[in-house]
Every structure is written in structure tokens, then in C-alpha cells.
Structure 1
């Protein structure tokens, strides 16, 4: 391989990594607008067919259960009353066809007193490249309420220093 070919191959590898990170970031950041818009099928499509969504009080396995959560009466009440699932920019780490990401999510709801923060959560995503693009394999959310599990979930994304 010539030096020009080596440089081109390195550039292509860097470009693919940037494109992967961009696609994963867009997937993660699309969750809030889709779930608050009641787009149940589109929310479920963010996950692989047998993907897992583990929220403190609810474990969903597979797209059908994720879709059902969006269509559920409690979730539809949040939408009707006014809510926003706001996700901060994720930190994404790609390794071949697998990736992880961590981010914070705030759920803001409309109340009689105005908008109120209902919950702040730590989010850890495991993702996989599929023929249809990147999909969530597992998303774990834990409320940031002082329990040890929540910051540990965030820290697990970053390699330990030697």
C-alpha cells in the first residue's frame, strides 16, 4: 500500500467513525420528540427487534412492548397535559459494529404552576449496526436521586484509568 493509499484508508476510517457517531447521536436525540409526539411505531423502531428498554419502574423487551408504552394511557396523559423528554448531547463510543453512549434525560411536565422538572435520569445505551442502520440493543435509565446505581451507570461507559 502506498502512502497515499494508506492516508486515504485512514481518512475513510475516520469519516466512517464520524458518520457512525452522528447517526447514533441523531437516533438518541430523536427519542424525545418522537415519544412526546406520540409516534409509537417510530419510537419502537429506534430499537433492534428484540431490544430492551429498562426504566426504573418498567422493563420493556421488544418493539411491541416499547410501542405499547407510548400508546399507554399514562403516557398519552403526559402528552395531553404537556411534557418534554429533553436529552442532553450523548457521549458516544463506537467499536466496529457496536457502540455505547451515555446521556442525561430531563422529563419536564406542564402543571398548574407552570413547567416542572419531573425527573432527571442517567441513560446508558448499547447499540448495534444493522442492515437498516444503528439500532438500540439496550437502553437503561436510572433516576438521579442519590442512589449509587445512577452515577455508576454513567461511569460504566468510560474506560477505567490504569
Structure 2
């Protein structure tokens, strides 16, 4: 096998491994947040990472972990909830990546499960150094969530992310 062909295969393998690692990291959010693992959730973000949710703006791991520890979130866990992150579309560019997906928050109410929120998710990620503690090598720099309620901003997040564009703001 020629050196050029070997290098091309190594590049393709690295991209596939990066996409797999990012998808696994994103998929870990739901089990961690529903399990009340505040430190595990916070570790998904860079130390100065941002989680921009419609009703919340969280800057840094302390605030992100605090959201999981909050009385409101702990109430969702006691009531029964599931944060379901859909399959992502991932664009890797070296040590940076953009991923988009849908997510649902499903809650247990009066003996049945109800979708409380359907959301567009835009993730900007960075390859972390090996000491990150996430195990994936990737961390969230900024996650922007917008409820899919008819506003133009929400589907624009999804479409832009498929094109690899950063979220506005």
C-alpha cells in the first residue's frame, strides 16, 4: 500500500473515530442529566463552556452542574423524566466540530408520559486534551437549544448546523 493511500485511510479513520466519539459524548448527556450526575454533565463542557437554553443561560461548569443540582431539576428526576437526544449530524474540521440534533424532554405525568419539550440543538465542540476527564477527547464549547414552536430561529439552528455553521450569538 502506498504512503499516500495509507495516509488517506488514516485520515478517514480519524474522522470516523471523531464522529463516533462526539456522538457518544452527546448521547451521554441524557443518562447523566436524568441520573442527576451534575459533575458528569458539567464535565461534558469546557471549563468556560456555555449552555444557552431558551429560558436559561449557563456559563461555565459550575452553573451547568448547578442546573442539575437545582430543586427544579431534581423535581423532574423524582417525577420521572427522560432527556432523549436524537441522532446527530456532525461536521468535524480538525480539532473543532459542529453537531446538530433534536432532543425531547419526556416527563411522567398522571400515570403517562408526555413530551414536555421538543428542541433544536446546536453543539459547537472542541477536541480536549487527554486530561479532560470526559473519556471522549471532545467537549462542548457552546450548546444552543431552542424550542421547536414555530419560531424561525429553531429550524435555522438545525439547517445551519448541517452546513457546519456556528450558532448565532
Q: How many Å apart are 1:157 and its aligned residue?
A: 1.3
Match of 1:115 among 104, 113, 116: 113
Q: How many Å apart are 1:113 and its aligned residue?
A: 4.3
- Aligned residue runs from structure 1 range 53-64, under 5 A: 53-64=51-62
Aligned equivalents of 1:76, 1:9: Cα separation in 2: 49
Which protein shows a greater Rg? 1
Aligned equivalents of 2:122, 2:55: Cα separation in 1: 16
Aligned equivalents of 2:93, 2:2: Cα separation in 1: 25
Give 2:45's aligned residue.
47
Aligned equivalents of 1:83, 1:66: Cα separation in 2: 18
Regions of 4+ moved over 3 Å? none
Give 1:6's aligned residue.
4
Structure 2: which 5+ runs fail to align? 131-136, 165-169
Query: Which fold has the larger relative contact order, with Cα–Cα distance below 8 Å and residues 6 or more apart in sequence?
Result: 2
Give 1:20's aligned residue.
18
| Residues 1:151 and 2:155 aligned together | yes
Q: How many Å apart are 1:61 and its aligned residue?
A: 0.4
Aligned equivalents of 1:137, 1:49: Cα separation in 2: 9
Aligned equivalents of 1:78, 1:115: Cα separation in 2: 12
| Residues 1:130 and 2:128 aligned together | yes
RMSD over aligned CA atoms reads 1.1
Count matched residues: 158
Q: TM-score, normalised by structure 2?
A: 0.91
Give SS of 1:157's match: helix
Aligned equivalents of 1:17, 1:143: Cα separation in 2: 30
Aligned equivalents of 2:144, 2:86: Cα separation in 1: 15
